[in-house]
Amino acid sequence: MAKRTQRTLNRNEDRNFSELTGKFKNNIYGTSKGKLREAVLQRDLAQHLPWLGVESNKTVLDVGGGQGQLALYLAQLGHHVTLVDISDEMLAQAQQQADKLGVTERVTLIHAPLQALPELSLGQFDLVMCHAVLEWLTEQQQALTLLTQRLAPQGYLSLMYYNRAAQRMANMVYGNFDYVRNGLQVKQKVGLSPNRPLEPQDVNLWLSALPLNKLSQSGVRCFHDYLRDPDKGNSQFDDLLELELKYNQQEPYASLGRYTHLMLQHQAATDDQ
């Protein structure tokens, strides 16, 4: 069995997804949305990690990694992965999959929120990943600092966040004018809709105060969420994926993705070159 470390949770202000594990598996991971996301993230990592698939035994921290799709992909390539998540149910799914794939010896599962990173004494990592987590947190800028602190001097940060500008654009296309006029606010948050989407200019400002160099920006679902016929996202998925990967690092498309994925590197890497 994959090594698991239990932690006490006391972060009621942030979302815990234990009760939604099945919905994530069926409504996100197993859909065209999830497949696009995974393909974009794997492509971006391959573009910037010189050791990916070549040199094993690198260390990876996946914060809020849920059921561990990307973490387990890296474990299969021979890297040592630590997956931290606030949901015990998500971790149970990750453990089952790790056992099935035969990578349990390279996977450590920790039940804890992002805010507990300083308490965990995990050390530093060659790669830190944090995907679709910031938009559920109250202290978003602080979270970026905590993630950066876990980077090795030449480490990489893979950061993906829910793009408020794209959310605004999509709702204008849908004709939800009152919703946009009200600042994309509803009386009660439901389902899997993120609580606190991020404005790109805020994220860029926060990152500028950290010792990080921006390597690339990709939009995730630049076209998918604007399709007039959503069924084409499934029936013509290969065509959609081809065009997504072709254009999603080019403007204006990169800024229209429902999610924004940034690849960043600790500035110490350039100092040593």
List residues forming the annotated binding site for S-adenosyl-L-methionine.
37, 64-65, 85, 131
Residues with Cβ < 8 Å from 170, sequence gap 6 or more?
225, 226, 258
Please give the sequence-ordered ranges of beta strands (E in DSSP) within the chain, or none if there are none: 3-6, 59-63, 80-85, 107-111, 125-131, 151-162, 212-220, 259-266
Question: Measuring CA to CA, how many Å separate 44 from each of 68, 159, 169?
Answer: 17, 11, 24
CA 127/CA 50 separation, integer angstroms: 12
Residues with Cβ < 8 Å from 98, sequence gap 6 or more?
2, 68, 72, 75, 104, 107, 109
* Encoded tokens for 165: 């500008």
Which residues participate in the annotated binding site?
Answer: 37, 64-65, 85, 131
Contact in structure between 175 and 145 (CB atoms under 8 Å):
no
Strand order in the sheet with 80-85: 3-6, 107-111, 80-85, 59-63, 125-131, 151-162, 259-266, 212-220
